[in-house]
Amino acid sequence: MSSTLDTNKSSNTCETNALECEKVSTTPALRMRPRVDIMEQEDRYLLKVDLPGVHKDDLDVTLEKETLSLKGVARFDLPEGFRVVSGCGSDRCYERTFRISDEIDREGITVEMKNGVAWLDLPKSAMAQKTKLTVK
């Protein structure tokens, strides 16, 4: 099944047939919407979520019904003897939600955090994968 990606710049969502990424409002320096790259193979989707400064212990990924949510915090530690002269000097909170369809095998979803990037592997359900049929 080929997927389509909504590239309308004024749209509030980007979506494929199996996955819809909902944009959240942002408040500068407090809540940030991380950049996400969505890739597809015949049997899975792979999401690359940029979360600079977020440690794996500060990343929360939940799946409730058809909503997959990521929340991460990059902790701000002010070095001793310094004061903030520019910027907000506070933690950065990242948040992103995705609406997934029945095309995704929920039991097979995995998340790996490497170097400030969360990799989400979303396998397609067996029914969503292409099958070559033999012609008799």
What percent of the chain is modeled with pLDDT above 90? 52
Q: What is the mean pLDDT of residues 1-24?
A: 45
Residue predicted with more confidence, 9 or 124: 124
The pLDDT of residue 17: 60
Mean pLDDT rounded to a whole number for the chain: 80
Residue predicted with more confidence, 55 or 5: 55
Rounded CA-CA distance 94/26 in Å is 9
The residues facing 31 across adjacent strands are 27, 93
The one-letter code for the residue type at 1 is: M
Q: What is the mean pLDDT of residues 7-28?
A: 47
The one-letter code for the residue type at 75 is: R
Q: What is the mean pLDDT of residues 43-53?
A: 95
Domains and CATH numbers, the chain: 14-77+89-127 (2.60.40.790)
Rounded CA-CA distance 125/103 in Å is 5
Rounded CA-CA distance 38/21 in Å is 10
